[in-house]
């Protein structure tokens, strides 16, 4: 037994900590939790520590510490959280203490930032001053260096083109300022796993019994014959320990590799005038890093420029507070997230010289967690453990009674115990053998392999899913995905290739064919279009000096429009230098548009808008025709709407470009005024409407069909025009025919959002396509579907998708286009952004359940057979046909080797022809044995 008894007779789990009284316990549990049965669970995503403790205390009856060794260590988790709070509160003290601790290994001087020989190197500013300025947010120190521009000169960085970025330059910077890595605590060694594996209480009792049996055997029968029983038990126990430790160690290595992959964030930096993607570990001091909504700040730094830049610093300060950054508050902390706006930062501190590096170096990341299936199987193991313990006690009582009443005989017919004649040593030896048999029955009866099999199967699935382009962030997502009944998928990039090109363009009422032929347009219109595209963009155009191919970076939509403008004759760098950006309204997924205010060389202030065509069109009062003349849009609005609809029917994404002049007196004159300035978005002049082609991914139609055949309904939730969404849905097979495309099967987000909660729940089941949806609409749909009993998987890539990803049973973020905020909120990252990979995840999830079914049937068959044979034999003959050594070998095979064999079986195609498991998992069992019925009833509670 791995616990102790409290005063009221209830058992407590040593790991979970002292048990609370009932009133206290109930007040700390989830309000929806049913405390009458701790294994009656409906939702384990983000379970509270109290709930986890409750599961442990309920699973205590036998071997709880051994059973939960595969999952989260609650004590260590609590210590980690306390350490985080301590670091946040006493960052400088912790810094000095940690540096002192690491001094021997790294050559660090106590109480100073990490330095390497020749700290300043070729640079005019040293690491100590940089670290002090950034850590203490000393604005005066930054001003002494001449502001950001002066600091960049000291760091040999061009704020426009970044660092040179060749191998020599990078090496010099890493030598002078360190690399963006931090010392990590080593994982547990194999010997540590061995130490933990043998500390199971029942195994310790067996070792003691084997020692006594070995000593008495050698004493009574001599060394040559007397070591058999005790030595055999020792060998069997040793094998159980080694195999258990080996499987645990392999899992640990697997989880470490997955964590390393999860931490290796790819981000964009400016080097040599071009935007390049690098690993977060390769960021160096002096790097210029563009930031946009959803990005993680990769290192400590100062703001170069930004517009409405808001940072979520809760990961460092512990407070859920958004901090706006400007020239008065320019310091950025590593590990924080960009909540809003855009900006550029200059890196001033990396790795251990940042608070985030210190935080990560001081804590170890635990990967264990309880999954729904593990929790239920722990309930089953507890139930069977009680049965096994009862059987073992019964066998012990029967054998002892028969022995001491003289009913037990040797093979030659002589009684083993005769009162007054049998000496103490012989009687003690016989009693030890009987006790060893009873303990061995307990070891065999308790199905420790159930939770182990789940962990093994999940670990195996996680590794294989990596090969299928899916990185699992939460262990339970593997099994939950097998229960999914509906998938709410994005369109762009998931169902489509996300390789966009402009294939149609309307300027005024004239369709430009081909769309990039500037000769069909007057110079004034081309100039305005180029200005709007170049300045109202987070993308970049790099023209190599040697005359190589032009490189265009940015989101797929930005790249498509920039490429179109380049073909029209746009000189990106010249236009950017000719006009000055006054204020930026970053693209907003709620409003579906973004804008920029700029002042040209002629001192005119123009505001350019770009966004969803029909939404921008509603704000337009005029348009420029193909001759460059301004026309009223009132009479021609229907023409433009028809043009947009026609493009949408052809599955094109429609984007409108518009602008307006702004009176100088309405433009703020200081930075404070700009921060509160809302760009005018009425009386716009329409410049152009472009249709962007984004073809469906190859194989996505087959993947959707597989889902449909498997009973998993695929729903498309997109921000695109309803007609575009319908066209893509028909092409992908989400809609079977155009006749099906009627409300509410296909619906707009605003219509769905205006319904009452009850109406939403009723209509959600019927929705197949939702167009022009905002992130809040997606969240409402997920909530409505979950209330209706669906197990919902959701794909998303934007920062605003985070609530829906968090709310869903399984959140699937995109590895290529997904923001860091979206990835942090998700359970699985789809590395290739492909819907076909989502289907593979469903397949692996179902494989988990299939493998567990096989293992439970195998284990229960062996368990029941061994228990029944021993009980019947003990009662009828006073002896057991399966001795301790044999039972231990059976335990080794069915608990550990059986789990390894059955839990690592790959999925078959037949799995996708079954109905989804849903929220309740029932194990089909062909046998009618009462124990199975009880076990399965326990399992599905």
- C-alpha to C-alpha distance for 186 and 751, rounded to whole angstroms: 54
User: Measured between alpha carbons, how far is residue 11 from residues 54, 362, 384, 604 in Å?
Assistant: 12, 34, 17, 79
> Cβ(915)–Cβ(842) under 8 Å?
no
Peptide bond preceding 514 in cis form (omega within 30 of 0)? yes
Give the residue from 343, 263, 321 showing the smallest Cα distance to 332.
343
- C-alpha to C-alpha distance for 373 and 297, rounded to whole angstroms: 37
Which residues are CB-neighbours of 848 under 8 A, at least 6 positions away? 373, 454, 457, 458, 461, 478, 479, 482
**Torsions phi, psi for 502 (to 5 deg):** -80, 120
Name residue 280's beta-bridge partners. Answer: none
User: Measured between alpha carbons, how far is residue 21 from residues 7, 28, 701 in Å?
Assistant: 11, 11, 56
Q: Is 427 exposed, middle or buried (0-12, 13-18, 19+ CB in 10 A)?
A: middle
- SS3 state of residue 180: coil
- CA 719 from chain center: how many Å? 24
- C-alpha to C-alpha distance for 681 and 593, rounded to whole angstroms: 10
- C-alpha to C-alpha distance for 851 and 840, rounded to whole angstroms: 16
Give the residue from 481, 487, 485 showing the smallest Cα distance to 907.
481
User: Measured between alpha carbons, how far is residue 190 from residues 247, 249, 448, 459 in Å?
Assistant: 10, 6, 20, 18
Q: Which two tokens stand for residue 716?
A: 């498309």
> Cβ(518)–Cβ(569) under 8 Å?
yes
According to DSSP, residue 678 is labeled P
Identify whether 490 is a catalytic site residue.
Answer: yes
Q: Which one of 13, 282, 295, 490 is the catalytic residue?
A: 490
Q: Which residue has the tokens 């399984």?
A: 810
- C-alpha to C-alpha distance for 488 and 677, rounded to whole angstroms: 37
- C-alpha to C-alpha distance for 382 and 390, rounded to whole angstroms: 12
Q: Measure the N-to-C terminal CA separation of the chain; round to a whole number of Å.
A: 25
Length, in residues, of the chain: 941
Q: Active-site positions?
A: 490
């Amino acid at each position: 037994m791995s616990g102790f008894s409290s005063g009221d007779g209830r058992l407590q789990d040593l790991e979970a900590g002292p048990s609370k009284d009932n009133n206290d316990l109930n007040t700390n549990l989830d309000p929806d939790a049913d405390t009458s049965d701790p294994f009656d669970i409906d939702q384990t995503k983000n379970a509270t520590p109290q709930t986890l403790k409750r599961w442990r205390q309920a699973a205590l009856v036998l071997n709880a510490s051994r059973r939960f060794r595969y999952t989260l260590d609650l004590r260590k988790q609590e210590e980690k959280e306390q350490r985080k709070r301590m670091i946040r509160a006493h960052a400088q003290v912790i810094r000095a203490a940690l540096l002192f601790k690491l001094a021997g290994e790294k050559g660090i001087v106590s109480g100073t930032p990490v330095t390497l020989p020749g700290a300043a190197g070729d640079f005019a500013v040293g690491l100590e001053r940089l670290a002090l300025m950034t850590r203490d947010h000393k604005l005066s120190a930054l001003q002494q260096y001449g502001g950001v521009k002066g600091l960049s000169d000291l760091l040999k960085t061009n704020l426009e083109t970044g660092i040179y970025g060749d191998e020599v330059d990078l090496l010099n910077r890493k030598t002078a300022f360190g690399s963006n890595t931090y010392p990590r605590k080593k994982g547990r060694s194999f010997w540590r796993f061995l130490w933990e594996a043998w500390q199971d209480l029942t195994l310790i009792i067996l070792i003691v019994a084997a020692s006594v049996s070995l000593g008495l055997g050698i004493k009574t029968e001599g060394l040559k014959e007397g070591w058999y029983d005790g030595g055999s038990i020792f060998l069997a126990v040793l094998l159980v320990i080694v195999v258990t430790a080996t499987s645990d160690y392999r899992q640990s290595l697997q989880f470490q590799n997955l964590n390393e992959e999860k931490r290796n964030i790819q981000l964009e930096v400016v080097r040599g005038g071009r935007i390049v993607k690098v690993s977060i570990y390769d960021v160096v001091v002096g790097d210029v890093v563009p930031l946009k909504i959803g990005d993680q700040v990769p290192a400590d730094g100062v703001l170069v420029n930004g517009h409405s830049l808001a940072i979520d610093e809760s990961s460092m300060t512990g407070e859920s507070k958004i901090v706006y950054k400007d020239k008065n508050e320019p310091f950025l902390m590593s590990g924080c997230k960009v909540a809003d706006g855009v900006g550029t930062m200059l890196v001033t501190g990396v790795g251990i010289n940042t608070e985030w590096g210190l935080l990560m170096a001081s804590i170890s990341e635990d990967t264990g967690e309880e999954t729904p299936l593990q929790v239920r199987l722990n309930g089953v193991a507890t139930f069977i453990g009680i049965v096994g313990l009862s059987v073992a006690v019964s066998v012990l009582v029967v054998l002892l009674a028969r022995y001491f009443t003289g009913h037990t005989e040797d093979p030659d017919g002589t009684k083993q115990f005769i009162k007054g004649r049998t000496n103490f040593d012989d009687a003690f030896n016989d009693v030890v053998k009987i006790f060893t048999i009873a303990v061995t029955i307990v070891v065999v009866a308790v199905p420790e392999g159930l939770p182990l099999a789940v962990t093994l199967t999940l670990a195996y699935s996680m590794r294989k899913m990596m090969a299928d382009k899916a990185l699992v962030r939460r262990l339970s997502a593997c099994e939950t995905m097998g229960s999914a009944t509906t998938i709410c998928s994005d369109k762009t990039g998931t169902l489509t290739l996300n390789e966009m090109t402009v294939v149609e363009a309307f300027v005024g009422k004239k369709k430009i064919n081909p769309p990039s032929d500037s000769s069909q347009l007057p110079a004034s219109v081309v100039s305005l279009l180029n200005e709007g595209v170049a300045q109202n963009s987070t993308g970049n155009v790099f023209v190599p000096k040697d005359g190589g191919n032009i490189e265009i970076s940015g989101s797929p939509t930005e790249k498509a429009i920039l490429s179109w403008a380049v073909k029209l004759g746009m000189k990106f760098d010249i236009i950017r230098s000719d006009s000055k950006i006054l204020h930026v309204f970053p693209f907003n997924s709620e409003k579906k548009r973004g804008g920029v205010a700029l002042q040209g060389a002629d001192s005119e202030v123009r505001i350019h808008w770009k966004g969803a065509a029909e939404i921008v069109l509603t704000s337009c009062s005029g348009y420029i025709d193909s001759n460059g003349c301004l026309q009223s849009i009132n009479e021609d609005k229907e023409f433009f709407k028809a043009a947009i609809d026609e493009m949408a029917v052809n599955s094109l994404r429609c984007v409108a470009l518009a602008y307006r002049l702004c009176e100088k007196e309405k433009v703020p004159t200081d930075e404070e005024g700009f921060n509160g300035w809302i760009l005018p978005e009425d009386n716009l002049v329409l410049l152009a409407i472009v249709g962007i082609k984004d073809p469906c991914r190859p194989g996505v139609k087959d993947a959707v069909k597989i889902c449909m055949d498997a009973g998993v309904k695929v729903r498309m939730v997109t921000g695109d025009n309803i007609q575009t969404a319908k066209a893509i849905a028909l092409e992908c097979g989400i809609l079977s025919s155009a006749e099906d495309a009627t409300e509410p099967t296909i619906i707009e987000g605003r219509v769905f959002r205006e319904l009452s909660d009850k109406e939403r729940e009723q209509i959600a089941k019927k929705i197949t396509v939702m167009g022009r949806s905002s992130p809040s609409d997606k969240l409402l749909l997920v909530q409505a579907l979950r209330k209706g009993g669906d197990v919902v998987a959701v794909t998303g890539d934007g920062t605003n998708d985070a609530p829906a990803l968090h709310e869903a049973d399984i959140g699937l973020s995109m590895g290529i286009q997904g923001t860091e905020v979206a990835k942090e909120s998700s359970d699985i990252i789809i590395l290739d952004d492909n819907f076909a990979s989502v289907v593979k995840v469903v397949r692996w999830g179902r494989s988990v359940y299939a493998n567990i079914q096989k293992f439970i049937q195998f284990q229960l068959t062996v368990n029941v057979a061994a228990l029944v044979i021993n009980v019947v034999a003990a009662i009828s003959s006073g002896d057991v046909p399966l001795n301790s050594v044999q039972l231990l070998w059976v335990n080794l095979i069915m608990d550990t080797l059986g789990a390894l064999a059955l839990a690592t079986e790959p999925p078959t195609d037949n799995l996708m022809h079954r109905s989804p498991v849903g929220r309740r998992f029932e194990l089909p069992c062909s046998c009618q044995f009462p124990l199975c019925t009880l076990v399965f009833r326990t399992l599905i509670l």
